[in-house]
Amino acid sequence: MAKKSKVILAYSGGLDTTVIIPWLKENYDYDVIAVCIDLGQGDDWKAVKARAIKTGASACYVVDARKEYIEEYIWPALKGGALYEDRYLLGTSTARPLIGKILVEYARQEKACAICHGATGKGNDQVRFELAIKAFAPDLRVIAAWRDPKWDLQSREDEIEYLEKRGIPVPVKKSSSYSCDENIWHISHEGLELEKTENEPDWKNMLKITKLPEAAPDKAEYVKIEFEKGIPVAVNGKKTDALSLMETLNKIGGKNGIGLIDLVENRCVGMKSRGVYETPGGTILYYAHEQLEHLCLDRDTYHYKQQIALKQAELIYNGLWFTSLMSGIMAFNDKVEETVSGWVRLKLYKGTMQGAGSFSPYSLYNESIASFTTGDLYDHRDADGFITLFGLPLTVRAMMEQKAGKGQAVVKSRSLKKRPTE
């Protein structure tokens, strides 16, 4: 018998990909090679691997990519201050490019002819996976199960029924079958009551690592974070590796109710969707990093970096990580962050954060200049000439309006209200 062609399946052990293994075998004459990528989900990977084999996979590989994910994807996003639509810390978005790249690596090693994923036809992840695959392997076929003509399952309920009919254990409970994505950076929740924006999230049924603010301790907790060139390297005076640092901050933030977001966002495919995100450690890091940048970056650089951050977040969200523009933005951030070193102390209390001091050897804050006390470096009278020149366009315009007898600067201007004198 001729050898069967191979397909690489992005396998999480969740509902969608558990269904896809038998579906691929029933609809395509492929050997299914399941690839599990550990980004900090906390899964029992032995059990997940056994499930893949039992469900019909010819082989199952588990890759521990946690350190790579943090250092090569999370840190660049953090250094850039990338936030999508002001709130989303891009937990799923940063992970997908790495997953796509690893899938290609296994496809090359296994000499597979196709890669399959379980992202739905309505979501962002289909775009992110496939753009990453295109960037490295435009010759490989992509099977997107939810878009395939042979796929006739329309909901998570259909998927559960599909498995039950085949005697395959269902990896979720019907009562709590949120669509979740979990990694070392965040946990996202979609579906069930969240699909109606009128509903409050069922927090008790949903949250995994973060307490509600009202359930957090009644006493504030302080945390001190040290950075080197924009990258966090220590927590509370203890230097550690990236993975341990994230695990520590997730515990601290989760305990104090930090990093809960309920967001209706604009997907890259054009629709709006609602998700709840738990990002306790990441939220702490973004806040602390911003505090340090306030010390270390000059005005023009900081303001321009804010503009770049919007574009970087958009690129990440839309799956355009492996592009020249993204590489250029990251190179800019690497240069800018060379002096973003020092420490920041934060006070955490019931879902809130406040700055509690910061220091950097590269700080641009100069007490002699900033103090209300007159010093040698700043003469208050110097502001006269500055204001005259800075306001010259306003002065010239007002003089013109007075000469023309029309405009906001005329003596009886309608823009000026008559105020009571008693």
Report the alpha-carbon distance of residue 197 to residue 274 in Å, rounded: 8
Between the alpha carbon of residue 41 and those of residues 182, 186, 354, 359, the distances in Å are 5, 9, 29, 34
Residue 86 appears among annotated catalytic residues: no
Closest by CA position to 274, among listed 109, 32, 85, 421: 85
Report the alpha-carbon distance of residue 169 to residue 48 in Å, rounded: 12
Contact yes or no for 325/75 (Cβ under 8 A): no
Looking at 12, 179, 188, 360, which residue is catalytic? 179
Report the alpha-carbon distance of residue 176 to residue 253 in Å, rounded: 24
Looking at 51, 66, 96, 128, which residue is catalytic? 96
Residue 155 appears among annotated catalytic residues: no
Burial of 126 by CB count in 10 Å (0-12 exposed, 13-18 middle, 19+ buried)? buried
Angle between helices 382-390 and 392-404 (to 10 degrees): 50
Residue 179 appears among annotated catalytic residues: yes
Residue linked to tokens 């399941």: 34
Contact yes or no for 88/188 (Cβ under 8 A): no
Looking at 12, 51, 125, 188, which residue is catalytic? 125
Report the alpha-carbon distance of residue 43 to residue 59 in Å, rounded: 18
Residue 125 appears among annotated catalytic residues: yes
Q: Give me the active site residues, please.
A: 16, 96, 125, 179
